[in-house]
Amino acid sequence: MKQYIEANKERFFEELFSLLRIPSISSDPDHKDDMVRCAGRLAELLLAAGADRAEVCPTAGHPVVFGEKILDPSYKTVLVYGHYDVQPVDPIELWKSDPFEPEIHDGAIWGRGANDDKGQLFMHLKAFEYLLSEGLLKHNVKFIFEGEEEIGSGSLAPWAREHADLLKADVILVSDTTMISDKVPSINCGMRGLSYVEVKVTGPNKDLHSGHYGGAVANPINVLCDMISSLIDKDGRITVKGFYDEVVELSREDRDMLARAPFDMDEYKEFLDIEEVKGEKGYTTLERTGIRPCLDVNGIWGGFTGVGSKTVLPSEAHAKISMRLVPNQDSETITKLFTEHFKAIAPPYVKVEVTPCHGGDGFLIPLSSDAYKAAARAMGEVYGVEPVPSRGGGSIAILADLQRILNIDPLLMGFGLERDTIHSPNESYLLQQLFRGMESIALFYQYY
């Protein structure tokens, strides 16, 4: 496919950029129209690439894009999953270029969604186009692209349940993750689940002068800090009652296998500019993100946060808190346990509210499957190195749902790298990874 890429590169960029220019931020109601626009553009690209049909399907939330090419009912069917929604761009002041005006320099494409997931799903469109145009395609291919991955995929599961027949396939092929490095390709064989909540702590019923009341009335920010601080103990373990009940402890063997993935602590710390890592006692860094759950405050706010100083004892304090889960933790159960725990530890001088935001379960992928083997062979050929199995720390909540609803295993061929800083300012995607991804996907179809 190398030559095909070379011959069509400029058109590829134009097409991908047409997606990247649409600010499809699913979490922001102001971008509702952009979501529809982006879905429409994707359907156009699907048809242009050779799909028999491509439709923008309305849901209770943002639309789902479905497309397919049915060559022969006796062929194996590949269901490609991706998402066209992107993360917000705050803090916008840290972007070196407009997040929605993509640029190419330093060997990479820069912009929100360059990697996650517009850049990665685009590889599938182009590998499909290439195979079809060259007469190499020997599979039926279905595409499903959703617009709510970054906000919990609330609409896709019901849609998939309703259209389970339409989605019948042999494997769910997904590029929405990273590999260890471009020298060490890897295939995700498991992802973490997620429980994401927002909490609100209310003290006095109005903002107070901190001089008149300070020392006598509980400050909800201080109380929120106390409560958050108590959620993780000194060994890095989460104190929510029952939190670890369903966690599967890996065998020494499994841990040894995962430990084969190369990891350089000095490089890791240098990349992040930190002196020390921190996490659950008794586990390595890769284990802490791969096979162990965790709890992070994703946002916190309360009181006066402007320029200058205001002596206020505020009425409210807020935080967004998420927990990454591992198989077999059930996301809904964990959200319930957290809510109960957080209310139970609230001292009598504040009121507490917990609002579930989104969540999903983690999952594992069998290494013995034909699909895994085909992917490993394809990537091994393109990269010149056998890929290693790894565990992803992130969550693609919907994949566990699709696995359950459709009874098909997903396969995660992710070509992102840590350097791409997805979800952060200056997201990028290396051209080399984009092109190697296309090649690997095209080869996957040949070996599957």
Residues 195 to 254 in contact with a copy of itself, rule: CB under 8 A: 196, 198, 203-219, 221-222, 224-226, 228-230, 232, 236
Is residue 153 a contact point for a copy of itself (CB under 8 A)? no
Is residue 314 a contact point for a copy of itself (CB under 8 A)? yes
| Preceding peptide of 328 cis, ω within 30° | yes
Which residue from 300, 345, 364, 431 is in contact with a copy of itself, where contact means CB under 8 A? Answer: 300
Which residue from 132, 403, 423, 431 is in contact with a copy of itself, where contact means CB under 8 A? Answer: 423
User: Quick one: which of 299, 298, 297, 292 has its CA closest to 235?
Assistant: 292
Task: Tell me whether residue 26 or residue 175 sits nearer to a copy of itself (CB atom).
Answer: 26
Residue 178: HSE in the Cβ half-sphere, 13 Å Cα cutoff: 18
- Amino acid residing at 297: V
Q: Output the smallest distance, CB 207 to a copy of itself, in A.
A: 4
Contact 421, 87 (CB under 8 A): no
Q: Output the smallest distance, CB 370 to a copy of itself, in A.
A: 28
Q: Output the smallest distance, CB 355 to a copy of itself, in A.
A: 10
For residues 347-406, which are near a copy of itself according to CB under 8 A?
Answer: 347-350, 357-358, 392-395
Report the alpha-carbon distance of residue 315 to residue 303 in Å, rounded: 8
Which residue from 112, 142, 324, 341 is in contact with a copy of itself, where contact means CB under 8 A? Answer: 324
Is residue 299 a contact point for a copy of itself (CB under 8 A)? yes
Tokens of 58: 């309305």
Using the rule CB under 8 A, give the single segment among 42-50, 158-166, 306-314, 337-345 that binds a copy of itself: 306-314
For residues 179-198, which are near a copy of itself according to CB under 8 A?
Answer: 192, 194, 196, 198
Q: Output the smallest distance, CB 59 to a copy of itself, in A.
A: 17
Count of positions on this chain that bind a copy of itself (CB under 8 A): 102
Is residue 340 a contact point for a copy of itself (CB under 8 A)? no
Is residue 325 a contact point for a copy of itself (CB under 8 A)? no
Q: Which long-range contacts (CB under 8 A, 24 or more apart) does 1-10 make?
A: 1/127, 1/130, 1/438, 1/439, 1/442, 2/435, 2/439, 4/130, 4/133, 4/134, 5/126, 5/435, 5/438, 5/439, 8/126
Q: Output the smallest distance, CB 228 to a copy of itself, in A.
A: 4
Is residue 67 a contact point for a copy of itself (CB under 8 A)? no
- Amino acid residing at 448: Y
Task: Tell me whether residue 15 or residue 150 sits nearer to a copy of itself (CB atom).
Answer: 150
Cα 30 from chain centroid (whole Å): 22
Number of Cβ within 10 Å of residue 264's Cβ equals 10
Q: Output the smallest distance, CB 239 to a copy of itself, in A.
A: 13
Q: Output the smallest distance, CB 299 to a copy of itself, in A.
A: 4
Token pair 């402890």 is found at 249
Is residue 281 a contact point for a copy of itself (CB under 8 A)? no
Task: Tell me whether residue 151 or residue 374 sits nearer to a copy of itself (CB atom).
Answer: 151
Is residue 301 a contact point for a copy of itself (CB under 8 A)? yes
Is residue 151 a contact point for a copy of itself (CB under 8 A)? yes
Contact 437, 364 (CB under 8 A): no
Q: Beta strand pairing status for 388-390 and 186-188?
A: parallel
- Amino acid residing at 80: V
Number of Cβ within 10 Å of residue 14's Cβ equals 9
User: Quick one: which of 364, 356, 369, 444 has its CA closest to 404?
Assistant: 364
Task: Tell me whether residue 1 or residue 197 sits nearer to a copy of itself (CB atom).
Answer: 197
Q: Output the smallest distance, CB 244 to a copy of itself, in A.
A: 13
Q: Output the smallest distance, CB 383 to a copy of itself, in A.
A: 21
Using the rule CB under 8 A, give the single segment among 43-51, 97-105, 137-145, 288-296 that binds a copy of itself: 288-296
Report the alpha-carbon distance of residue 389 to residue 258 in Å, rounded: 7
Is residue 60 a contact point for a copy of itself (CB under 8 A)? no
Is residue 105 a contact point for a copy of itself (CB under 8 A)? no
Q: Output the smallest distance, CB 243 to a copy of itself, in A.
A: 13
- Three-state secondary structure call for residue 122: helix
User: Quick one: which of 133, 156, 129, 132 has its CA closest to 144?
Assistant: 156
Is residue 112 a contact point for a copy of itself (CB under 8 A)? no
- Burial string for 118-131 (b: 16+ CB within 10 Å, else e) reads bbbbbbbbbbbbbb
